[in-house]
Structure 1
């Protein structure tokens, strides 16, 4: 839609009677609508009743359903398989292989695999149209300050450097582990060592040995309240935690909290560090001990977003991105106040009881854990849905009816609302029963449908025929161009012609109910982020049993592995891996050999995966490490990844997005035997052979792009840290700045990938000064992906 036409549409809208605080306000005549962008973490379409799925016991999502009914629901939207790559596509418009943002960022990755401050990010682009930009909550676009800020060149100003005028959220990819000590240092040396698996002290009815029916509830501001069972309080420990406090069981309030009450520890969704930066930078940490950092994340994320929006002038167009942390692990019971009375599990604290683990019965333990995970997932989604409704009401975009339902009429507002998932649901939360029957073994972190098929809802004043579905393919990368078009930005004029974005138009799907498909194919990928050379011995394996016993070195610390439901094979061993060397293992080949000797299977998380579809047929290309020596011929500690190459396989499927029973790319449903490319398609029909030929040819192009960009720093254009295709004085100036920041550690000017930005990198710039780099090299022949 032309910007002038959109302005006329907005100016002609009339709002509700705004006499009450919750009523929507009438739109201004501004030509530029506000944009509210809501990102849901680890929530795939398998959870969504509005799509016709949700399993036998779906979560309650009345507010998300209201948004879908008031706008358009995209039936065929893909994200990347993991968080950081998807979120980078939103704000750069480029596929991961163009930016080397290939997987979720962890402390051991180089900054070279983080979004670059030299990109024309979406907030920078929208600023050219007069927008101010805020990001609240979880986004995981940068490294964190773990490992002495190894991969965080701009520290707490990182999000400001990427273009946001206001950031109030988390640099980390997930809430920290649940504090199983419930804030009491007397219950163990660290947060993983206590008896309280849900982060609060249960009642004595649930846990006679460790529970409490009364106590002193201490708060970070120095206040204290006596709390006991009675009235609305059924579990004092839970009620205290929900209020931001720590319960001292069976005790009375003292003038000062006892020394063993620890407000510094992070506790899953209920206390955590926040990072804030403003329009002037000024990045700083708000610790978990600060009263403002204590409370349920979905509540705090909503409140902080509303606080920022309330400060914006009426004539100032804005884009507000709210990254809700739910439903990322660790799964943790939300506040009772956010859950409807009739929701199963609302008052169920049995999931926090040692009895729920069915000790000494491994099979029953797995069953009860799965039931608990699904129950808590549903509760977390319902709680988040409730806060999304509160967000719309607080922004005066909607109001609640007397019966609690959401009255949302986007045609009477000046704000476009976009809701999207960042990848498929994680294994332990996937709805594997009908309707839907999704595949938990091919979920988040895989390129299969359960891993990349996400909800995408859009509502706003320009929607033609609201309440419909768009069946056509869209990718997460396309949101970059959607937001730019809504704001009136000219992407093609703002982006260098030699580095075009991958984003395709999608605004026409909103304004024209009859718009034909724009994309001919959809693409997703995941790889291995760049890591410093010589750090292989610092990469520790984690095996996730629920994901088909997949082994990965993606999780750099034991606590993160355990929070994902994994078994840790690295340092600081547990009883499950007591037979390992004291230092643990540092690659998945060693783990495979060890587990094989125990009669246990192991699969490897691929080093790179890509998937491409034409809407009917889907090609998956997977690259995995190979091991040497041959399995079974040596002690487990002798194994390493093969230096001679990777095992690369093609898989061809037929898929659809039907409700209630979609055709999924399940194990065993491939149309022809899985093999190294090219596949032998002689047994397929002519149409299927042609589809594979087209998809395979396009996949080869994606492989070539990935190969080109992986080698950009060392082969194709060494010295060009800002990726403007020339090595010049700007690169010298940028190197000079980054070599002085963060102790000269990892940055986009670490060309030799040794984790340092130092004189060796300056020498590379000086050697190549004046060099112009041809983008034609991106079509070079592919090579196997980087090994991780």
Structure 2
């Protein structure tokens, strides 16, 4: 690339020499999409990593051996961001879902009801779609659709969790009300050799029944938890359960608020006393998915997304696996201990692997041999299986030589490099590795291609960023489709410009945790509103701080040690040889009385050794004032690439239904959200958390505006350069 020539950006373009004429069988292939939560590339031994003690994943390894493993896949740095990207085929700068969703985020930062989600697109080809488990691209409390939000976005069936934070609740350290808070760090009564533990007792279920779990290698309190019960230590079953037992307490992955959306638009919410709400989340997801899939007519194509909550915090012991000595031995761990957290993350990955194998057998895609090993022959099935990690691993459980300080929540390699496996009847020459660049946004195209859609952009009425993937499966010699890659995490929109509070974890401050409970579930110290933190006996102000830089200033002024601040916005773009990172912080220390954005740009040369992963560590950052000719050319190229991508986003004030026009339809849609809802919606155009006449005024002010002229919708051609778009 010649210095000074802006790089041409290709958006969409889901076509190539191979994908123009896809295998006809694609039109009838079912799709099983398995999403692993917080499982980065560093965890996966089958990709050559996993650290000194990699988790065992024999079932995933068997699937990889029968399919294609993509070794250079980028996600977005956070869960909601990745999910919105791949379900909509659009980067976060278009979806506006830029961080993990929390209870304060506006509907404007959730997947729009007007978006062409993958479920809506596949419906045009006769597919039925189910979402099982974690959703987290919209939350009901700030959304007009409420608990029916999954159905509104196009899925025919949903069985899963619409938690306030989108993720598992905190551990119930009372173990169901039997002890004061803080007593049981893992949410169940441990064995008798542990403090407040017991080797005998009574296990009560919500229906009033009671049993006495057998002792032995597994503490009866843990067995009772796995059965959905509450354990009263050192006692016998009584005629009635003790009054203090509280079956309404949520408990990490074990007791969850389960919601169903049905094809007719109806919603069912399970009480916490329902056995399904008391299953370990991974087990519930497999049971619910198998039930839905097995109920499909033989001639009905389907896509089932099974979105696991593991290994998202809080990390706890998964269900007992009697064949695993490590699983059984974990009963004695203190779940607040950092070393225990690393053991638990391994066990939760291994439990995920068991559940994936169980699911494939349950739906008839695989079987077991006499030794109990998975027998998977995808060519004899009608189902494509896709396995993905949604973002990099949480820093505290990152495996070396990956970088724990630059992990989940950052645009560095450890935060965005994820495992991706695709297997099924459309894969030619299985057992292959594809080392070409892939982005999670491309999965939108893959799912469409499997359904027989060859020109994806032509069927989506707004720009998409997805590139073809099916050619890699069909043609082992397929050249690289992507010449560049992109990732982004930032701030979601909150009323009147509010942001998540600061959270101090280990030796850095971050504003990714959405509320105090999430901060503390990650062993963090909350410095936002209501903080009780202090430094050298000096308490923080009760109102807390808005930004991490304010926390650092307070800590340093009171004699504490300084620390690293995680960026509020982290963006990266790369080509084959170099990677550009932009990190944006709020500088409140050098500007007393005001906080200003400070953006730091970094450049890394990508070196992929044969025996170790390439990681963009701090000490490999190239000094921008001393670049070589080649490095300077790469810097200009990537800077132009990023500018050109940003220039394709066309502001259209008043366009709440994202059709690129401000017209009478927007007034009609505004009315629908303003009355009787009136709260947060995509027609809250001034971002104050209300849909009211102030928003109607914005529509009226821009009535007649047509923003589509700047849209890059030509599927096969490149976009203009950044300067030409401007």
Shift of 1:78: 0.3
Change (3 A) 1:472 1:2: closer
Matches within 5 A, 1:248-327: 248-327=232-311
- Asked whether 1:550 is paired with 2:505, we answer no
Give how far 1:775 is off: 4.5
- Select which of 376, 387, 399 maps to 2:344: 376
Q: Does the CA-based 8 Å contact 1:551-1:603 persist in structure 2?
A: no
Q: 1:592 aligns with which of 549, 552, 558?
A: 552
* Aligned counterpart, 1:328: 312
| Matches of 1:626 and 1:780, distance apart in 2 | 32
- Report SS of the residue matched to 2:34: strand
State the distance in 1 between where 2:162 and 2:405 align: 28
Task: Give, in whole Å, the separation in 2 of the partners of 1:179 and 1:340.
Answer: 27
Shift of 1:534: 5.8
Task: Report the CA distance shift for 1:3/1:282 in structure 2 as closer, same or farther (over 3 A).
Answer: farther
- Per-residue Cα deviation, 1:725-777 (whole angstroms, up to 9, x for no partner): 11122212211221235x41111000111000011112222332222224438
* Mean Cα deviation higher: 647-656 or 56-65: 647-656
**Structure 1 CA distance for aligned equivalents of residues 111 and 473 of structure 2:** 29
Shift of 1:40: 0.6
Aligned to 2:426: 462
The alignment's C-alpha RMSD in Å is 2.2
> What is the correspondence of 1:181-192 to structure 2 with a 5 Å cutoff?
181-184=174-177, 186-188=178-180
SS in 2 for 1:663: coil
CA distance in 1, matches of 2:416, 2:560: 32
Which residue is 1:205 aligned to? 193
Is the Cα contact below 8 Å between 1:345 and 1:375 reproduced in 2?
no
| Closer/same/farther in 2, CA of residues 775 and 560 from structure 1, 3 Å limit | farther
**Residue-by-residue CA offset, 1:620-660 (whole Å, 9 max, x unaligned):** 11111111455xxxxxxxx6652xx4211111112345554
* 8 A Cα contact 1:615 1:656, kept in partner: no
Residue number in structure 2 paired with 1:445: 409
Counterpart of 1:634 in structure 2 is: none
Matches within 5 A, 1:504-523: 504-523=467-486
> How far has the Cα of 1:2 moved from its partner?
6.7
Q: Does 1:646 align with 2:597?
A: yes
- Aligned-pair distance for 1:95? 0.3
3-state SS, counterpart of residue 694 of structure 1 = helix
In structure 2, C-alpha distance between the alignment counterparts of 1:777 and 1:305, rounded to whole Å: 38
Change (3 A) 1:534 1:315: closer
Q: State the SS of the aligned residue for 1:688.
A: helix
Establish whether residue 765 from structure 1 lines up as the match of residue 699 from structure 2.
Answer: yes
Change in 2 beyond 3 A, CA 1:641/1:461: farther
Partner residue of 2:615 out of 664, 685, 688 = 664
The aligned counterpart of 1:776 is 710
Structure 1 residue runs of 5 or longer lacking an equivalent are 11-30, 358-368, 631-638, 673-678, 783-788
- What do residues 79-127 of structure 1 show as CA deviations (whole Å, max 9, x unaligned)? 0000111001111100000121111111111110111010111100000
Q: Secondary structure at the match of 2:333?
A: helix
Residues 663 and 557 of structure 1: CA distance in aligned 2, closer, same or farther (over 3 Å) = closer
User: Is residue 137–residue 301 contact of structure 1 (8 Å, CA) maintained in 2?
Assistant: yes
User: How many angstroms apart in 2 are the aligned matches of 1:656 and 1:486?
Assistant: 34
Pairs aligned (count): 693
Q: CA deviation at 1:341?
A: 2.8
Query: For 1:531-550, what per-residue CA distance to the aligned partner results, in whole angstroms no more than 9, with x for missing partners?
Result: 111646xx5321112xx412
Contact 1:590 1:640 in 2 (8 A): no
Give me the whole-angstrom Cα distance separating, in 1, the residues matched to 2:205 and 2:521: 26
* Structure 1 residue 616: Cα displacement: 2.3
Tell me whether 1:154 sits opposite 2:142 in the alignment.
Answer: no
Match of 1:748 in 2: 682
Q: Are 1:348 and 2:312 counterparts?
A: no
- Bigger shift: 769-778 or 324-333? 769-778
Question: Structure 2 length as normaliser, TM-score?
Answer: 0.91
Please give the secondary structure, in 1, of the residue aligned with 2:338.
helix
Structure 2 CA distance for partners of 1:3 and 1:133, relative to 1, 3 Å = farther
Q: In 2, are the aligned partners of 1:52 and 1:659 still within 8 Å (CA)?
A: no
Of the structure 1 ranges 258-267 and 315-324, higher mean CA displacement relative to structure 2 is found in 258-267
- TM-score, normalised to structure 1, is 0.84
1:28 alignment counterpart:
none
- 1:702 alignment partner in structure 2: 645
**2:665 matches 1:730:** yes
CA distance in 2, matches of 1:245, 1:541: 36
Structure 1 residues 703 and 649 mapped into 2: Cα distance closer, same or farther (>3 Å)?
A: farther
SS in 2 for 1:319: strand
